[in-house]
Amino acid sequence: MPVVLLSRRAIDPVVRASEQQKQFITDAGHELKTPTTVIATNLRVLEMEVGQQKWIDKARAQTEKLRELVQSLITLCKYDEETSPLHPQTFAVSEAVTDTAESFADFAQSKGHAISLAVAPGLSYCGDEAAVRQLASILLDNAVKYAAPETEIRISLEQIKRGVKLTVTNTCDQPPEGDLNRLFDRFYRPDASRTAATGDFGIGLSIAKSIAEAHRGQIRASTQGTAISFIAELKRDAHKKPLPNKAAAIIV
């Protein structure tokens, strides 16, 4: 088997370009944060003066989308830094996942979906609770946006060796083909027309990947027929400490 040796001279420009891109995203995110906040504030003041207007509502909606994009960019940059933004502590992960799923019930129902919840009761886990909740939220949000009409979304949590496994599954009209790892690339959108309709920037799954890796874990996607599953394995220390929790249920 031939061995390809790359000199540092050949690799350095690639590394430098990658670092420059990360720095640009960091700088752009922070520079955009203040003006978007100012715009949102001015829109609220304007509405108080002239009353509710359709064009103000549209401007506010677009401003909120921009603020979400900026916050996502800043979050990605934090995970790119050598110092992890995590604040690990032992928490009731079963309850955290259940609470997150329940918070999506109304959103899912408005899109014609029910959420099927199968969470192992009483699991605790040593990690960043806010980050794990965000991970579950990203996967649920993705499922609600891309699930086929009138289908069920399934979320499960189970203990694995040295950690926990979170899985979110939904049925698609047309599951993605090819290299599913690309779904976790930044700004990757397999169906531009569909993602434009959902308002997806192609960043959420990248953040989910960063969260999983920050917890010494991994995330992957798999398809079976028309179903697609996103499986996140988090491998910091997990504990079997019995904690009160809600049993498996169907949220409608």
Is residue 73 located within the same domain as residue 145?
A: no
- Residue range 192-237, pLDDT digits in tens: 555 455 556 678 899 999 999 999 999 999 999 999 999 999 986 5
pLDDT > 70: percent of the chain: 75
Phi, psi of 31 (to 5 degrees): -70, -30
Beta bridge partners of 124: 239
- Which domain-ending residue is among 80, 102, 132? 80
- Residue range 90-114, pLDDT digits in tens: 999 999 999 999 999 999 999 999 9
Q: How far apart are CA 196 and CA 88, in angstroms?
A: 36
Place of tokens 């899985």: 167
Residue 72 lies in domain: 8-80
- Which domain-ending residue is among 41, 61, 80? 80
Is residue 184 located within the same domain as residue 105?
A: yes
> pTM of this prediction?
0.73
Average pLDDT, the chain: 81
Q: Would you say the C-alpha torsion 99, 100, 101, 105 has a positive or negative sign?
A: positive
- Domains: count for the chain: 2
